[in-house]
Structure 1
Amino acid sequence: MEKEFWRTIEMEKCYHCGELFSQTFRCDKCGQEYCNRHKDPIDHECNLVRESLNMQDNPSHQHGGFNYEDSYAQRPQWTEQTPSPNRRGPERRGTTDGSFTWYREQRYVPENAFDPDSGIEFKGILFPYKSEALHLLVGATLIFIIGFIGFYNEQLIELDLTWSIFMLAGFYTTAFLFHEFGHRQVAKHFGLQTKFRLLTFGMIITVIGLVMGIFSLLLNTVALPSLALPGAVVVLGLDKINRQTGLTKIAGPTVNLFYGFILLIISFLIPTALYPLNLFMGYAAALNFILGGFNLIPLGILDGKNILQWNKGAYFLITLWMVIFLVFTLLNIYIVEISLYIPR
Structure 2
Amino acid sequence: MVEYTRNEIRDLIISFIVLSICFTISTVKMNFYGAISILPIVTVGVGIGFMLRELAQKFVAIKYGYNAEFKMWPLGLLITFISSLLGFVLAFVGSIKIDEDDVPDEIKGRTAVAGPMANMALALLFIVIATLIYPLKIHSSVFNLIFLINTVGFSVNSFLAAFNLLPLWTLDGLNVFKWDVKIWIVTFVLACIMLVLATIIGAEKMVVMLIGI
The TM-score normalised by the length of structure 1 is 0.50
Residues 1:239 and 1:164: Cα distance change in structure 2 (over 3 Å)? same
| Matched letter for residue 194 of structure 1 | A
Aligned residue runs from structure 1 range 195-210, under 5 A: 195-199=69-73, 203-210=74-81
Structure possessing the higher radius of gyration over alpha carbons: 1
Aligned counterpart in structure 2 of residue 267 of structure 1, from 130, 150, 159? 130
Q: CA deviation at 1:321?
A: 1.7
Q: Render the CA deviation track for 1:27-84: whole Å, top value 9, x for unaligned.
A: xxxxxxxxxxxxxxxxxxxxxxxxxxxxxxxxxxxxxxxxxxxxxxxxxxxxxxxxxx
Residues 1:334 and 1:231: Cα distance change in structure 2 (over 3 Å)? closer
| Matched letter for residue 95 of structure 2 | A
Residue 282 of structure 1 corresponds to 151
Q: Distance in 1 between matches of 2:70 and 2:77?
A: 16
| Matched letter for residue 108 of structure 2 | T
Aligned counterpart in structure 1 of residue 50 of structure 2, from 173, 176, 180? 176
Aligned counterpart in structure 2 of residue 247 of structure 1, from 86, 89, 110? 110
Q: Distance in 1 between matches of 2:170 and 2:32?
A: 36
Larger RCO (CA within 8 A; separation ≥ 6): 2
Residues 1:298 and 1:214: Cα distance change in structure 2 (over 3 Å)? closer
Residue 139 of structure 1 corresponds to 15
Q: CA deviation at 1:181?
A: 1.8
Residues 1:134 and 1:282: Cα distance change in structure 2 (over 3 Å)? same
Aligned residue runs from structure 1 range 1-344, under 5 A: 131-152=7-28, 163-199=37-73, 203-214=74-85, 226-237=89-100, 239=102, 241-274=104-137, 277=145, 278-333=147-202, 340=208
| Matched letter for residue 17 of structure 2 | T
8 Å contact 1:148–1:166 — kept in the other structure? no
Q: Distance in 2 between matches of 1:138 and 1:162?
A: 19
| Matched letter for residue 204 of structure 1 | L
Q: CA deviation at 1:273?
A: 4.9
- Give the match's secondary structure for 1:270: helix
Residues 1:263 and 1:311: Cα distance change in structure 2 (over 3 Å)? same
Q: Distance in 1 between matches of 2:116 and 2:175?
A: 12
- My pick for the range that moved more, 252-261 or 204-213, is 204-213
Q: CA deviation at 1:154?
A: 8.9
Q: Distance in 2 between matches of 1:283 and 1:130?
A: 31
Q: Distance in 1 between matches of 2:120 and 2:55?
A: 14
Q: CA deviation at 1:163?
A: 4.6
Unaligned runs of 5+ in 1: 1-128, 217-224
* C-alpha RMSD of matched pairs (Å): 3.4
Give the count of matched residue pairs.
202
Residues 1:190 and 1:207: Cα distance change in structure 2 (over 3 Å)? same
Q: Render the CA deviation track for 1:271-297: whole Å, top value 9, x for unaligned.
A: 245265435522221111111111111
Q: CA deviation at 1:261?
A: 1.0
Residues 1:246 and 1:210: Cα distance change in structure 2 (over 3 Å)? closer
- Give the match's secondary structure for 2:16: helix
Q: CA deviation at 1:130?
A: 5.7
Q: CA deviation at 1:144?
A: 2.6
Q: CA deviation at 1:327?
A: 2.4
Residues 1:254 and 1:326: Cα distance change in structure 2 (over 3 Å)? same
Q: Distance in 2 between matches of 1:316 and 1:197?
A: 27
Q: CA deviation at 1:157?
A: 5.3
8 Å contact 2:79–2:92 — kept in the other structure? no
Q: Distance in 1 between matches of 2:150 and 2:32?
A: 15
Residues 1:234 and 1:167: Cα distance change in structure 2 (over 3 Å)? same
The TM-score normalised by the length of structure 2 is 0.77
- Give the match's secondary structure for 1:131: helix
Structure whose residues are more often helix by fraction: 2
Unaligned runs of 5+ in 2: 139-143
